[in-house]
Amino acid sequence: MRRSGITVAKDDQASRVHALARAGFLDEPVRLTFDALRRPVPDAVDTDFALEREALRTVRHCFQLGVWFHRLLTGDREQIPFIPPEAPEWVQSAEPTDTDARAEVQALRSELEAARVSLELSRVSYSDRERSYEEALEKARESASSELARARATLPEVSTLVTSLATEASRLQRGFDEAPSPRKPTARQRELLVSNARRAAQEPLSEARVRDRIDEMLSEAGWAVQDGKGNQNLYATRGVAVREVTTAAGRADYLLYVDTKLIGVIEAKHEGADLATAERQADRYAEGLTARQDLQAWRTPLPYRYVSDGGLVRFRNDLDPDSRTRDVYSFHQPETIARWIREAEADAAAPTYRARIRERLPMLDPAEVASGRLRPAQFEAVHGLEESLRRGDQRSLIQMATGAGKTFAAVTAAYRLLKHAKAQRILFLVDRNNLGSQALAEFTNYTAPDDGRKFTELYNVDQLTGTTVLDSSKVVISTIQRLSRLLAGQEPGDPEDYSDSSAFEEEERGTSAPAADVTYSRRLPPESFDLVIIDECHRSIYGRWRSVLEYFDAHLVGLTATPVAQTFGFFHQNLISEYTYEQAVADGVAVDYTTYRIRTAITEQGSVIPVETHVPIKNRRTRRRRYEELDDDFSYGANQVGSKVISTGQLRTVLTAFRDNLTVFYPERDNVPADMRMVPKTLIFARDDNHADEIVEMVRGVFGRGNSFCKKITGKASQPDQLLSEFRNAPELRIAVTVDMIATGTDVRAIECVFFLRDVKSWAYFEQMRGRGARVIDSTELRAVTPDIREKTRFVVIDAIGVTESHKRETPVVEKDDAKRTSLRKLLGKTAGGTIDEDEAEELGLRLSRMSRTLTAEDHAEITRLAGESLDAIVGRIAKSVDVDHIDKVRQADGAKGVHWMVQQAVQPLARNKDLRDLLVYIRTDQRIVYDEVNPDSLLSVGPVEMAQRTVTSWREYLAEHHDEITSLQVALTGHGGREVRPREAYQRLKDLASRIARPPHQWTVERLWQAYEQLGAASSEPGVKHGPPDLVSLIRYELGLDTEVRPYRSTVESRFANWVARQKQAGVTFSEDELWWLERIVDTMATSVRFDVADLDRVPFTERGGTDGFLRVFGDDRAEAVLNELDQELTA
């Protein structure tokens, strides 16, 4: 209870067990074991034999719970079987004449025998490969008998130990009771504890059970499993797995045959065993065949080697270059291995896909950049990916700024892998279905550089539509949601259905579903793809969708402009290419932006609609409006504007300010005659679909334009693809309003304004949205849709809601304990279907109770009218039915069926009344939007956002938050206090800090920080000077108050050196020309590495004059060390 942070109102065992079970910590078997222990002995247990049997069960229950708790804390997966106690002598010799007593004795003996047999089976081992299963079982019986004997022999000792520990147990209990409660666990810690508890409740698989599971997995993959006793039929099907076959190196668990040829081996181990040892055993069997097996083998040693403990499967293809073992979801299908064999026979020098990557994939030609076909960043991305694949990296991450051409780089890589490495199939995953169409167009338009034909003329590219992948498909495009549905055996749906939300939007709204369940699919086996490209790899890929990606035996490549810490973690920190937005702007690959803030009174403070006002109220679902008279003042806050309340005054004021200040935002358009001036292509982000509708209407009214001027483009709009094409290409459509459909990845290059009428909590999502305006566009293409401007040199961000001022998080908001509960709609639906259980009924009662406290009098009256009683009365009946003690009594009296019918009776008012259920869902989801049409808004200000001041302020906050780390680093970088830290280690820590702050959510490169100080006048501007990690020292010293001005670190070091030389001269010390050569180069090294490492003397440029020996010759043994120490102290930070 303490570890989980769960509290209960009633401090009794029943309530604690119930609470833990509801929170997911106790699986049903564990919960029932706890319940069995706390229940009193039934009245029917009235004989000595029955009491002995009850005692045996109690001992076994205590043992089971002890093992469960041990596994929960330690993660131990070894077999820990119950060793049954020996029955008392009087029970063994008893021959009662009474029928009931005789039955009790027989039942007791049967339970003891069952426990003994269970112990024997847990000890069955196949470690001796010369032994048959029957022999192994006999040895297991002997082992179990020995354990039973040892256990009985130690009973006196254990009894004495228990007695001696009684006092110690009391002391520990007092300490536990008096100890302060531990800090409440985070959602992540809690989820881990739940996961450990559930895993601990699952009995580890014995080696015998592992065999059964492997048989099942092989059958799923299309293998026929046969016994190796001389009667196998290798012609039964294409793939045959033969159990327990003797090789020259011992007995193999399984030998694998494809088309009657021996091709591989499987080694099975019990759960918890060391699979590295199993791998070595598999290698021995693959290499140690009998003479007859040599004749049957496709080639020797056998190339395909698997090991498994029934849960994890590890695989090694010995034909791969530098072959290494990797985890796979299941065994490969015989058809897959048959294809691998054909490929190996066709190209003996490069027999596998991984070998062909090394041997057949030519190096990317730099001429691709010279010709303009690839940008330098795209070249680096493709080259980095191919080098990563040559190394055998399973996961790779490419970070490229929005608009820098990630997709084109990915298509280039895909083409080269298909053509040269003969990849079987590539999966391209997108965030939304409309991005799938965009990706398909990118593949379709790609021209092969060495062939001249289009990609789709050479290889089939398909969007995932049916329940399988076509054999002819070489590239498959899909969202991960549709792929998950296919793996779950469902129809994936129409690829042109855009109603699925973006993963970014789901997280933003907190509507992400639990982790996806994945089961083996014959139609889409794990080996279906050789490469999986994840475009805009949102963090949900390593959360909800992780199991879908890890299902495939493929290289995973992530493409993103907005990586977060979890992104780097999922891709094993393997960042193979990095191209930031700042670099893209500098290279002319993206355009920079200016941010303007529009402030209004209602946007800042909200407003109040007076009592007795007739206000329009809109149903979100039906879109119908009705009017209500307010019985009281209706107050709303700034954060409710656009969601729960639509303020027409606020929308009109903001959009009017936008219209009237267009030449302020775009001064270059001031010279364009008013009658020729066009509104820049503008993308407005709304909170939801209803908000988008209102914005569209208001835009048309404020600008006095028709329907073609402004349109809504969302997944719910009619023909969204056509609308998106209009926005790209039609001069008439100037403003598009969206929620999330154009928020990520969508390419509309002519956008010059990104307008926020909604807040965004996620840093990554905000960057994605803002990035819609960053794309460059050819001047001819631009003038075709926006004739009043010659070129796009920047874009404008309009913040009308405070999105640039709100805190942006890198990780999701911590989920509340009940965040993953079943929805209210589903719980109510279960009442009607008669399938709701007591835990769900309790959850439903709690939800309705909380709802009741927030309802208006009108809501209560409507519920009472429909139900014939109040909501509180219904809740009270449910609460009584799910009371822990009440359920316990009913269960003892009438069993599970009695509990079921009691719960159904309690929820009957909900079950039989659909209108009531619909009303409760309607109220709960707050389907009403209130329209404020009475309060005018007032414009407070319109102006640019001072990003430099905000950057420096945030940097100062970071330094304060990480004060201890920064102070420690400052000490390590000085020659005075940092002597215990080697210079290279200190510099590495500085580089790590620079790298960390350059990543999201801060994105503070040293150059960007320095520019912010320059803009504020705290640092002098020095055009052409590049700033690196050493200059971070100058910024830190300035903020710590150690320096009064911000100077480049090199300038500081050189100035200190000049002063030091001057002091030396005053003291009568002069330096020769040779000595100055050494000193000046030491200073140069310190300017770039902060401190000087003696080992640097044996590196360039010092090696030109003899390295360490040369330095000692010039300064002398006694003086050399003193000079270095003095420089380290005088010149460092």
Check pLDDT > 80 for residue 1071: yes
Check pLDDT > 60 for residue 500: no
Strands (DSSP E) found in 648-691: 682-685
Q: How far apart are CA 432 and CA 506, in angstroms?
A: 12
The whole-number pLDDT of residue 814 equals: 34
Query: Residues 526-541: what's their mean pLDDT?
Result: 83
- Counting runs of H as helices and runs of E as strands, what totals does the chain give? 46, 27
Angle formed at CA 791 by CA 785 and CA 793, multiple of 5 degrees: 120
Q: How many other C-beta atoms can be found within 10 angstroms of the C-beta atom of residue 941?
A: 9
Looking at the chain, the whole-number percentage of residues with pLDDT higher than 70 is 88
Which of left, alpha, beta for 1079 (phi over 0: left; psi -120 to 50: alpha)? alpha
Q: Which residue has the higher pLDDT, 402 or 923?
A: 402
Decide if 496 contacts 437 (C-beta within 8 A): yes
What distance lies between CA 395 and its chain's CA centroid? 14
The whole-number pLDDT of residue 192 equals: 73
Contacts 24+ apart (CB under 8 A), 1033-1042: 1033/970, 1033/973, 1033/990, 1033/1090, 1033/1133, 1035/955, 1035/1006, 1035/1009, 1035/1010, 1036/959, 1036/966, 1036/969, 1036/970, 1036/1133, 1037/970, 1037/1133, 1039/955, 1039/956, 1039/959, 1040/959, 1040/966, 1040/970
The whole-number pLDDT of residue 130 equals: 42
Q: Which residue has the higher pLDDT, 506 or 677?
A: 677
Residue 56 CB burial class (10 angstroms; 0-12, 13-18, ≥19):
middle
Check pLDDT > 80 for residue 227: yes
Check pLDDT > 80 for residue 167: no
Tokens coding 542: 């390593």
Check pLDDT > 60 for residue 812: no
Tokens coding 609: 């609609």
Check pLDDT > 70 for residue 749: yes
Tokens coding 230: 């001389």
Q: How many other C-beta atoms can be found within 10 angstroms of the C-beta atom of residue 1037?
A: 19
Decide if 594 contacts 942 (C-beta within 8 A): no
Query: Residues 940-954: what's their mean pLDDT?
Result: 85
Residue 563 confidence class, pLDDT cut points 50, 70, 90: confident
Q: How far apart are CA 836 and CA 823, in angstroms?
A: 13
Angle formed at CA 222 by CA 216 and CA 228, multiple of 5 degrees: 65
B/e letters for 765-789, b = 16+ CB within 10 Å, e = fewer, are bbbbbbbbbbbbbeeeebbebbebb
pLDDT in tens, 961-977: 888 888 878 777 775 55
Phi, psi torsion values for 266, nearest 5 degrees = -125, 130
- Say which residue the tokens 């049997």 belong to: 53
**Domain range annotation of the chain:** 13-200, 207-349, 361-586, 592-606+641-799, 824-932, 947-1131
**Lowest mean pLDDT segment, chosen from 134-143, 532-541, 1032-1041:** 134-143
Check pLDDT > 60 for residue 811: no
Check pLDDT > 70 for residue 127: no
Asked, as a colleague might, if the bond just before 376 is cis with ω within 30 of 0, I would say no
Asked, as a colleague might, if the bond just before 526 is cis with ω within 30 of 0, I would say no
Q: How many other C-beta atoms can be found within 10 angstroms of the C-beta atom of residue 267?
A: 25
Q: How far apart are CA 1005 and CA 1011, in angstroms?
A: 10
pLDDT in tens, 198-224: 888 888 887 778 899 999 999 999 999
Residue 1064 confidence class, pLDDT cut points 50, 70, 90: very high
Q: Among residues 470, 469, 447, which one has the least CA distance to residue 458?
A: 447
Query: Residues 543-548: what's their mean pLDDT?
Result: 77
Angle formed at CA 750 by CA 749 and CA 755, multiple of 5 degrees: 100
Determine whether domain 207-349 maps to CATH 3.40.605.10.
no
**Lowest mean pLDDT segment, chosen from 397-411, 491-505, 886-900:** 491-505
Q: How far apart are CA 230 and CA 115, in angstroms?
A: 35
**Lowest mean pLDDT segment, chosen from 718-727, 853-862, 1109-1118:** 853-862
Residues with Cβ within 8 Å of 915's Cβ and at least 6 positions away in sequence, in order, are 866
B/e letters for 77-97, b = 16+ CB within 10 Å, e = fewer, are bebbbbebbebeeebeebeee
Residue 921 confidence class, pLDDT cut points 50, 70, 90: confident
Q: Which residue has the higher pLDDT, 712 or 97?
A: 712
Q: How far apart are CA 188 and CA 74, in angstroms?
A: 18
Check pLDDT > 70 for residue 790: yes
- Say which residue the tokens 């580890």 belong to: 204
**DSSP output for 1051-1086:** HHHHHHHHHHHHHHHHTT----HHHHHHHHHHHHHH
Check pLDDT > 60 for residue 817: no
B/e letters for 415-440, b = 16+ CB within 10 Å, e = fewer, are bbbbbbbbbbbbbbbbbbbbbbbbbb
Decide if 268 contacts 313 (C-beta within 8 A): no
Domain 361-586: which CATH class? alpha beta
What distance lies between CA 606 and its chain's CA centroid? 36
**Lowest mean pLDDT segment, chosen from 153-157, 656-660, 1016-1020:** 153-157
Query: Residues 115-132: what's their mean pLDDT?
Result: 60
Report the DSSP beta bridge partners of residue 427.
476, 532
Residue 178 confidence class, pLDDT cut points 50, 70, 90: confident
DSSP state of 762: B
**DSSP output for 825-876:** HHHHHHHHHT---HHHHHHHHHHHHHHHTT--HHHHHHHHHHHSS-HHHHHH
Report H helices in 882-1005. 884-906, 908-911, 914-924, 947-961, 963-972, 983-998
The whole-number pLDDT of residue 819 equals: 37
The whole-number pLDDT of residue 191 equals: 65
The 3-state DSSP class for residue 327 equals strand
Angle formed at CA 382 by CA 379 and CA 385, multiple of 5 degrees: 140
Assess whether the region 207-349 and the region 361-586 belong to the same CATH fold: no
Q: Which residue has the higher pLDDT, 1125 or 357?
A: 357
Check pLDDT > 60 for residue 45: no
Looking at the chain, the whole-number percentage of residues with pLDDT higher than 90 is 42
Q: What is the 3-state secondary structure (H, E, C) of 201-233?
A: CCCCCCHHHHHHHHHHHHHHCCCEEEECCCCCC
Decide if 940 contacts 600 (C-beta within 8 A): yes
Check pLDDT > 50 for residue 815: no
Contacts 24+ apart (CB under 8 A), 1041-1045: 1045/1018, 1045/1019
The whole-number pLDDT of residue 979 equals: 57
The whole-number pLDDT of residue 128 equals: 45
pLDDT in tens, 55-94: 778 888 888 899 889 888 888 877 787 877 777 766 666 6
Residues with Cβ within 8 Å of 785's Cβ and at least 6 positions away in sequence, in order, are 681, 728, 729, 730, 731, 750
Report the DSSP beta bridge partners of residue 932.
647
> What is the helix (H) or strand (E) element at residue 602, kind and residue range?
helix 601-605
Helix axes 99-122, 48-74, angle to 10 degrees: 20
pLDDT in tens, 327-366: 999 999 999 999 999 999 999 999 999 999 999 999 999 9
* CA-to-CA dists, residue 867 to 827, 828, 983, 993, angstroms: 17, 14, 77, 63
> What is the helix (H) or strand (E) element at residue 939, kind and residue range?
strand 939-944
Residue 556 confidence class, pLDDT cut points 50, 70, 90: very high
**Lowest mean pLDDT segment, chosen from 229-238, 697-706, 804-813:** 804-813
Residues with Cβ within 8 Å of 64's Cβ and at least 6 positions away in sequence, in order, are 33, 82
Residue 406 confidence class, pLDDT cut points 50, 70, 90: very high
* CA-to-CA dists, residue 364 to 277, 477, 491, angstroms: 40, 25, 40
* Superfamily of domain covering 592-606+641-799: P-loop containing nucleotide triphosphate hydrolases (3.40.50.300)
Decide if 742 contacts 726 (C-beta within 8 A): no
**How many residues does the structure list for the chain?**
1133
Q: How far apart are CA 337 and CA 331, in angstroms?
A: 10
Tokens coding 1065: 């001269």
Q: How far apart are CA 913 and CA 925, in angstroms?
A: 19
Check pLDDT > 70 for residue 494: no
Given strand 250-258, what is the order of strands in its sheet?
224-227, 239-247, 250-258, 261-268, 304-308, 313-317, 326-328
Q: How far apart are CA 631 and CA 120, in angstroms?
A: 76
Q: How many other C-beta atoms can be found within 10 angstroms of the C-beta atom of residue 324?
A: 11
Tokens coding 600: 């209004």
pLDDT in tens, 244-300: 999 999 999 999 999 999 999 999 998 878 889 999 999 999 999 999 999 999 999
Tokens coding 355: 């070998």
